Structure 1
């Protein structure tokens, strides 16, 4: 079942014209529908954990969770904290079918990733979107992670494959669950097609938001077990640690 919008739909046409800023409605002075002042004020993720990108008070540190239980993925790359207005843009893209919001964030994220590549971040061999459960895909009609992956792949000239990673078991919603319960909920949920293809490859998982990292960790372990050499995670935003 392939439910992704086609590339000739209006989400692609709109972004080729001079735009008003999607945040303040002023005419954008850049090629994207976001003015420079609003882009500057986005909640850019600064000091963070070296592995999971959890916001931290200082740079160059590893969070306690990653020290106690090192994740299977090597690094999370995320431009923003999951905070206003990025959280609102993601919600409107993910749950309200406002695809220009997702396309805008993907274009900005691609610029951020290209800067990281220029600074020495290793380019992956392929981008793999986190798959949705079949029931949720039917309900929503599209996989936002797959859409992000294709936009990023187009901008960064990287291949995308949404058929190698499979979701083979339906799971309950992850929202509201702690990290331990999330991992238990995801046990046996993912598998791969053609493990020989993955052997020795550097893969990057694509998702919209990283919360506890449980989904990314479970998938990374499956990919590594099936021959991948390295797994990174590219997402739009990283949530802070819950208070209390």
Structure 2
């Protein structure tokens, strides 16, 4: 795996470059963070948002990425998932990270997808085909912009990649993904 300035590029990314330019993660998805994130996300405890955002903000290169971004976009949930959880965990993180730059209306979730956790990479990629779109009236405004995409966990990167691809098609110049935790599973 080649290393660039402390960052590791995996073989899959070398063969099929992702749509994001950079992905920054605060921690590995393991003890104690996996439990905290599960409590936050699946047990309806939005109180974790501030703590997890502070953890992410303290990660090297996150602060400069947020400062350089013109818009911060949380990964949207489907209506069904939003009803189940009562909140969008990525949107809460984004609000704590960059309140004045967050836009919840640019990136749209077109359809509900099967939960990504537990699916192999190939199925995750199929699962997310045509899952995201850019709000048509807002697409032209993304040309040349530096964006930050926010999500809570990155496993294979399929969700972030699918979202970033539609933002690239709209003309985004640079996309940094920020996640609280990153797994080693692919």
TM-score between the two structures when normalised by the length of structure 2: 0.90
Q: What is the rounded CA distance, in whole Å, between the counterparts of 2:63 and 2:72 in structure 1? A: 16
Residue 151 of structure 1 is matched in structure 2 by: 96
**Unaligned runs of at least 5 residues, structure 1:** 1-47, 51-58
Q: What is the rounded CA distance, in whole Å, between the counterparts of 1:122 and 1:70 in structure 2? A: 25
Paired residues, number? 183
Residue 180 of structure 2 is matched in structure 1 by: 236
Q: What is the rounded CA distance, in whole Å, between the counterparts of 1:85 and 1:200 in structure 2? A: 39
Bigger drift between 195-204 and 121-130 goes to: 121-130
Q: What is the rounded CA distance, in whole Å, between the counterparts of 1:78 and 1:131 in structure 2? A: 19
| Shift, 1:73, TM fit | 0.6
Residue 178 of structure 1 is matched in structure 2 by: 120
Matching of residues 96-115 of structure 1 within 5 Å: 96-112=43-59
Residue 223 of structure 1 is matched in structure 2 by: 167
Residue 19 of structure 2 is matched in structure 1 by: 72
Q: What is the rounded CA distance, in whole Å, between the counterparts of 2:81 and 2:66 in structure 1? A: 34
Which runs of structure 1 show a deviation greater than 6 angstroms over 4 or more consecutive aligned residues?
none
Q: Confirm or deny: 8 A CA contact 1:199 1:229 kept in the other structure.
A: yes
Larger strand fraction of residues: 2
TM-score between the two structures when normalised by the length of structure 1: 0.69
Q: CA RMSD in A?
A: 2.2
Q: Does 1:86 align with 2:33?
A: yes
Residue 202 of structure 1 is matched in structure 2 by: 146
Compared CA separation, residues 184 and 139, structure 1 to 2 (3 A): same
Q: Confirm or deny: 8 A CA contact 2:26 2:56 kept in the other structure.
A: yes
Q: What is the rounded CA distance, in whole Å, between the counterparts of 1:49 and 1:151 in structure 2? A: 31
Q: What is the rounded CA distance, in whole Å, between the counterparts of 1:151 and 1:121 in structure 2? A: 12
Larger helix fraction of residues: 2
Compared CA separation, residues 62 and 88, structure 1 to 2 (3 A): same
Q: Confirm or deny: 8 A CA contact 1:89 1:102 kept in the other structure.
A: no
Tell me the alpha carbon deviations over residues 159-209 of structure 1, each in whole angstroms, 9 at most, x when there is no partner.
000111000112111122122211111111111111111111111110000
Compared CA separation, residues 78 and 49, structure 1 to 2 (3 A): farther
